[in-house]
Structure 1
Amino acid sequence: MSTRLVLASGNAGKLAELQALLADTGAELLPQSALGVEDIEETGLTFIENALLKARNAARVTGLPALADDSGLCVDALGGAPGLYSARYAGGHGDSLANIGKLLGELEGLNPQWRTAHFYAVIVLLRHADDPQPLVAEGIWPGLILDAPRGSGGFGYDPVFLDTEHGLSAAELDPAVKNRISHRGRALAHLRARLPTALAALR
């Protein structure tokens, strides 16, 4: 018997990634948009605060356990920016082309060795809206910011984020490889180690 979880996000790319990562866990992941849950304002001052806000809202509206993540790109030369504001770096929410354009403009002319960055993700699982002990997992994916986009896969900043181990942008990586090594994949791998116990308690 599968356990239904609500994903506190309407991002189609994120949903596809997480569904693939959870495929063999016995969990059925549903987007909050399919259950009538609207996005809430992310007023937290940290990634984990925002993830918890989103998960609590989705769990409260649906009555289902909720999975939420908050993630962002942190560029060392920019003091960790865009960070919490990664999705709306250029002003509008989720305008990847504008966000990438602004980022490349900020780093224009900077030598490659100073273009270090990392993706960061935190994933939380709330068994119910008032769960006092959420499962929390973090993941970090180090890399460099390219001076121009490469590749057609992925979403967000993927075309300008170079995975130095493979020598490919995140948008050029095979999706299965990306799922394994990405910040979200690493965070979920940590979560998965504790997931069977949590899911068993929900059945």
Structure 2
Amino acid sequence: MIVETPHGPAEVVIDHPDGEPRGLLVLGHGAGGGIEAPDLLAAVAAAPGFVAARVLQPYRVAGRKAPPRAPQLDEAWACVLTELTARFPGVPQVHGGRSSGARVACRGAVVADPRPVGVLALAFPLLAPARKDGTRPDRSPEIDAVDAAGIPALAVSGDRDRFGVPPVAAHREVVTVRGDHSLRAQGPVRDAVAPWIAQVAPPCG
């Protein structure tokens, strides 16, 4: 599916379940990566019965690797959510992504209509890369806003992630698996996501 945004078209790859969907899982990619990242595919596998929509941001569709500023990412994400909500109305939504995509999902979740029933943050980069002065900006306010809004979240990170691991919070579960920021081990990621997603969007009946 192609979604027009103010910043160019976004591409959405949609996997449909057999029968009526029990939910909609929307996933964004990392800054320089794509929608075939191992942890994104593991998340799709962990959500049987869901429509799974993997979103390629306009800058990646255009062939660029460097992402634009956050407001552009967020606006394109919101356009995609609007289209998906119209196409799959009335089903619970789980928003998420890996790294930069997890940040976008967290920022968008607190203003989305409808609000997601959960946010999946894969390899959420708690600390930014070091600046020239050695400081590393803290990105925890983005994921903490999800918790403050009372939205359940699951953060899955590698135990050697150089960007840090979010802490447990009132509405946030945290799972660390063996690995680094790339989260290439699909089995452990799938095993972490599956019970959580079944909890926030239980199967019908």
TM-score by length of 2: 0.38
Whichever structure has more helix as a proportion of its residues is: 1
**Greater RCO, 1 or 2 (C-alpha within 8 Å, sep 6+):** 2
When Rg is computed on C-alpha atoms for both structures, the one with the higher figure is 1
